[in-house]
Structure 1
Amino acid sequence: MRYLVAALSIFVASQAFADTKTQKIEELLRAQGLVDTWTQQLERGKEYNKQVAKQIMGQMTTKLAPNENFQKRFDAASDKFIESIASPWTADDMVAVWAKFYGPGFTEAELDQLIAFYSSPLAQKEIQVGRAALEKFTLHFQQLNQPLIEKATNQYMQDLQLVAKECNCAK
């Protein structure tokens, strides 16, 4: 019985240690601005998915004039698509996974030092400047990539239409 109590005590203590370490990693990630960045990325992903759905819908319905009933069905299909590709993870989920992989590399004392550094005025300035630069950097490449995506999507739609026409397999 004593061994069971000792093992249980060690387990509880290790869980408390892990929870404290995870909390410190979360505090560090917040100080670094990564939690906000991940949250923004998830939101941008949702917006991007909506744009993709709208673009595909436009291409599919360009030669159609659906009545109200069919327009609602098209909209429902679009909503279903957007929902099906939405990320099921939150920024908090990402923190937990990051802590799992990142945590073993640092002691609690080292995490305390990192938190102190990233909470300093200079580090906070670097984070703000870096985030602003990253946003512009990302937008730059998104804009460069957009024509490529549009061209590839158009070609894909044409390829599908050609196959469908050649197939002559409509029900």
Structure 2
Amino acid sequence: MPQIRLFPAAALLSLALAQPARAADPAPAPAKPAAPAAAPAPAAKPSPAAMDLARTLATQETWKRGMDGLTQSLVGQFRGHPGSELSMPKDFQAKARTEVEALLPYEDLVNIHARQLSAAYSEQELKDLVAFYKSPLGQKALKAMPEVQEKVAMETQQRIEPKLPQVMQKLAKDVKPPAGGAKAPASPHGGAAPAKPAPKK
């Protein structure tokens, strides 16, 4: 069975649309036994404005593209596994798509996003955002921004990655091996980080 390493488009879509809130739970007193976990409070139902904004930002078409990408990646892991000649039925891709969609149905994505929007914005702000994203400029922003962000990410990656080995070499000068002569940790960008040899006696 191939080891599947995926960059899940559906999960990426979900994370891009809503940043989950992080709450710190207080640690129990060390002298007392831990109390039984209380049942979680039911989540508040998102307002109509939050649902409207969620559907505007997380369109079904965007969700479908994410599902397509994840399905292709999943099937490709089976087809491209080195040294294997896997036999797949004709409906294998359709089955894979069904399984992928079950991981994050569209309505679940909308509800997750709507809950996070409700927590982040007031009701009036949600209505203002809906009005903006449904305006001509807002519609243009929804279509253009993903491409802009992709180009920015690509350009920054092209600028930074070639220079990382040089940065690693500079930083390696300040890294010393631990006592006992163990080797310095390997550099993730081209071989082991050079360590200064011990002076000869």
TM-score, normalised on structure 2?
A: 0.43
Q: Hey, which of these two has a bigger chunk of helix by percent? A: 1
Q: Which has the higher contact order (CA 8 A, sep 6+)?
A: 1
